[in-house]
Amino acid sequence: MDLDRRSLFSGALRHRGSQQSDAEQLALKQKYQARLKEVEAMEPLSGLSLPTLLVEHRLSRRNFMMWASAMTAALMLPPIFEKQVAEAASLLNRVPVIWIEGQDCAGNSEAFIRSAGPTVEELLFQTISLEYHETLMAAAGFQSELRKQTAAQMYKGKYVLVVEGAIPQGESGAYCTIGAAGQTFYQEVQQLSAGAALVIGAGACAYYGGIPKAYPNPTNAVGVSSVVSGTPVINIPACPMNPINFVGTLIHYILTGAAPALDSTGRPIWAFGNLIHNNCERRAHFDAGEYVQQWGDLGAQNNFCLYKMGCKGPFTYNNCSIVRYNEGTNWPIGVGHGCIGCSQPEFWDTLAYERPMIDANIHAPGIAGLGVEAGADKFGLGLLAVVGVGIVAHAIASAAGGREKVPAAVSSSNTDAPSGGTTEKKEGE
């Protein structure tokens, strides 16, 4: 993560800390310091330490501090907490983690392990004391079962349980059994969550059921929050979840010993508190009514807004437009495809199709006044409400009164128009 990315974070995210007085920040810093001392006194559980891994992978301390600086901004903390975030990251080897998988593709695990060069998040993942992970561990059969049970007993009340994948409830859970004893995944989640300090739902399937829960949901799959009771659940959706959001959640846990502030669906507000539309690099084109109309047109060549190609950014809460993927290399909209809303509940049934949720060419009497000038939050919530009552075809851009522009070469045969040139499209055309 480079310095540019740090400034991008700082600019795009409103620091929660900036709303606090100096005295409040100082009190919080002291609280974090006391907690860090407590964690530091614990025995390291993993043989791998972050400083050693940084040296092995030729990542300098400066690189790491730049990463810590960006992570601090991502957590919506002011810069005075950077040192503590770095310290918390180096203490991740004190956290025992049990990672189980049900109905999934292992994409969230792979998000950590499949890249050309290790990112800081990947190195941190190596330092975590991963007591059990079906996909990554060498043990199999009864041996791995024993490993899981031993870890659950040894670290009772202290371990973080990561659940990846949906949980089928149909046929008494028989659609997904785990291990040599054939226990259902449903039972496994219930038993292991009861002894955990915290449960993390990793990815879209653990969040709301993902693909397994999509219509007609033949296995009666559900997300982890529907199965766990009595232990805090933090959902980190997206398909896959972004490693930075997972590591950030663990760092927050090390700093505070608790779950971060969550929204009504259990997602950390620091990561899922903003619509991606608010921080999208194509937003100026949306505001100007400049859209890609078909794949490969001049609008696409000029990185116009993808709303008409089905982008669901105005309905999707996530920080991917800021933190991006693969160490900030890029994200779906950056490479030319609209958002399919992968961090929203039930997105396979409601958002993942390549057409606009609401037809941008037709006026929308039911949402009068909700044009492109509307604030994105109002826009997203308003449209979701409209869809919720079953009204399907409505306008957004044209609600602003003939403001829509389309690339000249697309709207007519005028291929002489300058690249990226636009033609005013009059109301009613």
Residue ranges that bind ligand SF4, judged by CB under 6 A: 238, 276-277, 280, 282-283, 286, 305-307, 311, 313-314, 316, 318, 320, 331-333, 338-343
Both tokens assigned to 376: 């994105």
Task: Quote the least distance from Cβ 412 to ligand SF4, whole Å.
Answer: 23
Half-sphere exposure in the Cβ direction for 20 (13 Å, CA): 16
Taking the least distance from each CB to ligand SF4, the nearer of 90 and 245 is 245
Task: Quote the least distance from Cβ 305 to ligand SF4, whole Å.
Answer: 3
Taking the least distance from each CB to ligand SF4, the nearer of 212 and 299 is 299
Alpha-carbon distances, residue 31 vs 5, 37, 81, 206, 250 (angstroms)? 28, 10, 12, 32, 17
Taking the least distance from each CB to ligand SF4, the nearer of 165 and 356 is 356
Task: Quote the least distance from Cβ 341 to ligand SF4, whole Å.
Answer: 6
Task: Quote the least distance from Cβ 235 to ligand SF4, whole Å.
Answer: 14
What is the three-class DSSP state of 250?
A: helix
User: Which backbone phi and psi does 110 adopt, to 5 degrees?
Assistant: -65, -25
Q: What is the DSSP string of 295-336?
A: TTSHHHHTT-B-GGGT--GGG-B-SHHHH-BTTTTB-GGGGT
Taking the least distance from each CB to ligand SF4, the nearer of 179 and 310 is 310
Task: Quote the least distance from Cβ 319 to ligand SF4, whole Å.
Answer: 9
Task: Quote the least distance from Cβ 280 to ligand SF4, whole Å.
Answer: 3
Which residue is it, tokens 């939050």? Answer: 377
Task: Quote the least distance from Cβ 166 to ligand SF4, whole Å.
Answer: 17
Geometric angle at alpha carbon 111, from 146 and 282, rounded to 5°: 155
Taking the least distance from each CB to ligand SF4, the nearer of 78 and 314 is 314
Task: Quote the least distance from Cβ 219 to ligand SF4, whole Å.
Answer: 24
Taking the least distance from each CB to ligand SF4, the nearer of 125 and 331 is 331
Number of CB atoms found within 10 A of residue 297's CB: 18
Task: Quote the least distance from Cβ 339 to ligand SF4, whole Å.
Answer: 3
**What 8-state DSSP symbol labels residue 37?**
H
Residues 6+ apart with CB under 8 A from 166: 102, 103, 104, 205, 206, 209, 210, 211, 212, 213, 221, 222, 223
Taking the least distance from each CB to ligand SF4, the nearer of 188 and 327 is 327
Taking the least distance from each CB to ligand SF4, the nearer of 31 and 114 is 114
Cβ atoms 81, 32 nearer than 8 A: yes
β-bridge partners, 181: none
Number of CB atoms found within 10 A of residue 273's CB: 17
Residues 6+ apart with CB under 8 A from 156: 195
Residues 6+ apart with CB under 8 A from 132: 98, 99, 100, 144, 147, 148, 151
What is the three-class DSSP state of 275?
A: strand
Comparing every residue's Cβ against ligand SF4, the nearest one is 313
Exposed / middle / buried, residue 399 (Cβ in 10 Å: 0-12, 13-18, 19+): buried
Taking the least distance from each CB to ligand SF4, the nearer of 57 and 283 is 283
Taking the least distance from each CB to ligand SF4, the nearer of 17 and 223 is 223
Looking at this protein, which amino acid is placed at residue 79?
Answer: P
Task: Quote the least distance from Cβ 336 to ligand SF4, whole Å.
Answer: 10
